[in-house]
Structure 1
Amino acid sequence: MTLETLWALVLVWLVAGYLVLDGYDYGIGMLLPALGRDDRRRRLMLNATGPFLLGNEVWLVAVAGVMIAAFPGLEGALFTAYYPLIAALLAGLMLRGTGIQLRRFGRGPGWRTAMDAATVTGSLVPAAALGMLVGGMLRGAPQGLSAGAAAADLLHPFTLLCGLAGVLLFSLHGAVYLALRLGGPAGDQARAAVGRLAPAALAVVVAAAAAGALSGDVRAVLTAPVSAAVGAAIAVGACAAAWALARSGAAAAAFACTSVAVLAPFAAVLAGARPHVFTGRAGEGALTLSDVLADEATLALLAWFIVPLAVVGLAAQAWNWWSFRERLDERSPLYF
């Protein structure tokens, strides 16, 4: 295996871990007002992810670190073209963390309401930003635009539709996670939410796929449109399977399906644009993997650090999951 292939796999693995693990945190945050009928239920929802919250966010830190060190060309291109979305994502993460961590320190319902609003907003914004990032990459990065024009370009209807798809997919992922982690009435309520969210997610993903197929900008970017179509079909099928599995009580299998569903749009971008990893509008300014990677000596040096860090990180997260493996219910002690 070449260093180029190794680091490509490392980056894909880290991005996948971030989307799957922090993705359900976004879903839980967005569902807080809908499923949290009272303060006790909201605390139960937050405690379902509480032990894993910071560990899940580490995946994004790892993505940023690996991209800056090993993929400087890709980091520069993405941050330049999509900086409004990346800035919104980071601001949302900080807002969500503030809402969850400070919620228990205030007195009175007003404080908790404000912190819950911060949690919902801080979950909704990153979910929408990730969906819009997929839409923006499918249309191609704008070339030679001013800062204001670049931000306005992200408000294209197709990009906004992808943002809505991101919100619904991550919400569905969070609802399935709650069905997996919560027992009693709270778990039943989460399964009912899956039944409402799955058809909505299916409809919007299908609409986004159809809009992409009709878009001249998208067709100009995709070098392998069949692969992109397969990715969209996988997202649709995974949502439908998660809906059926959640209704039958197979929450773990449903969670696996929603994990595939949130990954499929990003896989569709990579597969559909190959061998390019970044493309400008109308296919201009396309960059391949070799164009964005650091030099071989840097990659070889970094490999000595990433392997032990990955082993330690995975072991710590596995231990954390094992330690907090029991399902929560209305009688469980709550610390958030």
Structure 2
Amino acid sequence: MPLILNEAEVADLLDMGSTLDAVEAALRAQAEGRATNRARRRVMMPGSGLNFMAAGFPESGLSGIKVYSVSRGGARFYTMLFDAESGELLCIMQSDKLGQMRTGAASGVSVRHLARPDASTLGMYGSGWQAESQLEAIAAVRDLSRVIVYSRREESRKEFAARMSERLGMEVETTANADEPAAQDIVVTITSSREPVLLGEWLRPGTHVIAAGSNFLSKSEIDPETVRRASFVCVDSREELGLEAGDLLRPLESGAIFPEAVYELGQVIAGQVPGRRGPEDITLFASQGLALEDIAAARVVYDRAVAQDMGRDIEF
């Protein structure tokens, strides 16, 4: 009988440290051919849409699928875990919080492996809910001396700064100058914008850039100059090229970068490609999110729920 977990239970069971480690292990396994991921597919209907993505991670003993609907009433996220050997449905969990955490964790993992070792300042574009886990994950892997946030609405960025300053016990600054976050060691875009919020001309040598807000070909948070200036470009999965990586579409179409020059973050983790070669390099991680990352985080939740005898069993 599968276990049922709601959002509150998932949030109680999942922490950023464990999510970072789980996502990193899953991306390494993907690069080494020990895990399988299938990109998101979308069923679009008038006023709503259904999205689904799947992955298999034999070493964890699991396969799984994430399904979410988007409509005028909002978005609803669910992840289902299956026993990789028997095929038994083990768990259904609400997974809005889980998705937020794994998205932040993927960015944190990219900082671990691609940011300069002395990188200590963070500039952020975006102050919404997804921005929270971006900051939390990066703060977990780097000792940050400065965090500065820009977003279109002054009220939103100030509320975000106050909330995250209290939660993380660190000062989070805000700015009305769009180019100021780009002057930091690590730069994150995590917005809903369809047009670039970050211009490559603003970046300093040595920056690590994370473009995490776009997962549609029609959306791009960074301009082509950002991609052109990057010495190293990677994604969660190369399968996303031509499907979801809107941040890379124009540079690929114009020849500013070739598909062969786009790598996977897991390849860096596994030591298959070097990533950053020197302190002056600008590195770029264009994150669209993988089912494999969801399944890795869901495994943490499921194991802890079983250990604590949480959730509700149901019969079909």
Normalised to the residue count of structure 1, the TM-score between the two structures is 0.27
Q: Which structure shows the higher strand fraction?
A: 2
Q: Which structure shows the higher helix fraction?
A: 1
